């Protein structure tokens, strides 16, 4: 495209916003590729990287509309634990794995419907609803483990890497369609961009926003199913730290934390890949696993700092 005109400051900033995360991803691949002498590209390791990014990428894609509304979600870790619990419980009780996926999805939708009603219906700060949900779900899981235990399950084909990979692509694509090409996605972006203007579009905002929450819950449920396939059982540490992974991935991917029209599905996808590559690269290069937690914390800090610079005037924390 012939673009001879000069770009204004804001346009430049927007280009930076779009391409910085991609450049970050390329940089991470290049650095660890060279450092590890190409070992991170070995067949088995690629599988590991995808498996590590899997849950975060799927959950981040599912929750993108909530982030577009200007919300931030602290509950996915807890919800994954609760979905794991109900999923494993139904498998143990019926002796069959047929009901695991539906059970996970229903539990996810239920949890996010509650958060959605608190946030959308009661018009509360999204922080409150999701933090309560985090404590609520963790609380339930811990109490249940006080009185009984569960046996492992085997989810068969869901453990096949190609099947997992195909499902991940399909789910992310569905999220992309919903985010960009439906009223629900547009309403979410509009709401995050400008609440008053969104109200004056004449869309049933509350309904659409609530659907966006419930959709997010369904995707968390599906992500839990694949998580269970890999982990095989539920424990009190199921889904631990997943909320921080998702938030970090979003920020790394360049998500506008105030929500609005500059949010995108690609943010969570790119961000989760960067995290996974970083952590995996460090391990492959011989850095102790314990250190990777510290690195994650550091990345989070740097990313937030950069987001602040990029979003001058936009609050980092949700409204």
Across 65-84, b (16+ Cβ under 10 Å) vs e yields: bbbbbbbbbbbbbbbbbbbb
Q: Nearest distance from residue 223's CB to another protein, in Å?
A: 23
Residue 182 binds another protein (CB under 8 A): yes
- Residues in the interface with another protein (CB under 8 A) total 28
By CB under 8 A, the residues from 218 to 277 that bind another protein are 260-262
Q: Segment contacting another protein (CB under 8 A): 7-15, 17-25, 127-135, 281-289?
A: 7-15
Position among 1, 5, 122, 148 found at the interface with another protein (CB under 8 A): 5
Q: Draw the binding track, 196-225, toward another protein (x: CB under 8 A; -: no contact).
A: xxxxxxxxxx--------------------
Q: Contact at 8 Å (CB) between 107 and 82?
A: yes
Residue 170 binds another protein (CB under 8 A): no
Question: What is the rounded radius of gyration, in angstroms, for the C-alpha atoms of the chain?
Answer: 20
Q: Contact at 8 Å (CB) between 58 and 265?
A: no
Q: Nearest distance from residue 303's CB to another protein, in Å?
A: 22
d(CA 217, CA 79): 8
Nearer to another protein, 77 or 258 (CB): 258
Q: Nearest distance from residue 123's CB to another protein, in Å?
A: 13
| Cα 43–Cα 45–Cα 49 angle in degrees, nearest 5 | 125
Nearer to another protein, 159 or 195 (CB): 195
Q: Nearest distance from residue 236's CB to another protein, in Å?
A: 40
Nearer to another protein, 8 or 151 (CB): 8
Does the CA dihedral 243-246-248-254 come out positive or negative?
negative
Q: Nearest distance from residue 183's CB to another protein, in Å?
A: 5
Contacts of 311 (CB under 8 A, 6+ apart): 256, 257, 258
Q: Contact at 8 Å (CB) between 125 and 319?
A: yes
By three-state DSSP, how is residue 37 classified? coil
Q: Nearest distance from residue 24's CB to another protein, in Å?
A: 23
Nearer to another protein, 143 or 196 (CB): 196
Does the CA dihedral 78-84-89-90 come out positive or negative?
positive
Q: Contact at 8 Å (CB) between 216 and 63?
A: yes
Q: Nearest distance from residue 276's CB to another protein, in Å?
A: 31
Residue 292 binds another protein (CB under 8 A): no
- Which residues sit at the interface with another protein, rule CB under 8 A? 5-8, 11, 177, 180-183, 186, 189-190, 193-194, 196-205, 260-262
């Amino acid at each position: 495209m012939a673009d001879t005109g000069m770009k204004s400051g804001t346009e430049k900033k927007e280009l930076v916003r779009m391409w910085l995360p991609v450049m970050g991803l390329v940089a991470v691949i290049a650095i660890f590729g060279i450092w590890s002498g190409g070992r991170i590209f070995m067949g088995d390791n690629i599988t590991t990287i995808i498996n590590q990014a899997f849950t975060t990428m799927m959950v981040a894609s599912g929750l993108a509309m909530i982030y577009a509304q200007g919300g931030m979600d602290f509950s996915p870790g807890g919800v994954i634990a609760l979905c794991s619990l109900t999923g494993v419980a139904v498998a143990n009780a019926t002796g069959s794995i047929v009901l695991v996926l539906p059970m996970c999805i229903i539990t996810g939708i239920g949890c996010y419907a509650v958060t959605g009603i608190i946030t959308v219906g009661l018009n509360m700060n999204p922080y409150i609803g999701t933090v309560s949900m985090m404590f609520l779900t963790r609380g339930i899981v811990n109490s249940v483990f006080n009185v009984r235990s569960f046996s492992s399950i085997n989810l068969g084909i869901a453990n096949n890497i190609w099947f997992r990979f195909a499902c991940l692509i399909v789910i992310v694509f569905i999220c992309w369609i919903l985010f960009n090409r439906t009223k629900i996605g547009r309403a979410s972006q509009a709401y995050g961009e400008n609440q008053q203007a969104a109200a004056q579009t004449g869309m049933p905002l509350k309904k659409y926003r609530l659907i966006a929450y419930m959709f997010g819950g369904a995707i968390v449920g599906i992500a839990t199913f694949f998580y269970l396939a890999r982990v095989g059982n539920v424990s009190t540490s199921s889904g631990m730290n997943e909320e921080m992974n998702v938030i970090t991935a979003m920020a790394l991917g360049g998500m506008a934390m105030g929500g609005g029209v500059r949010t995108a599905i690609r943010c969570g996808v790119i961000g989760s890949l960067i995290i996974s590559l970083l952590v995996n690269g460090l391990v492959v290069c011989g850095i102790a696993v314990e250190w990777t937690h510290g690195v994650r914390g550091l990345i989070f800090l740097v990313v937030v700092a950069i987001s602040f610079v990029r979003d001058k005037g936009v609050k980092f924390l949700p409204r």
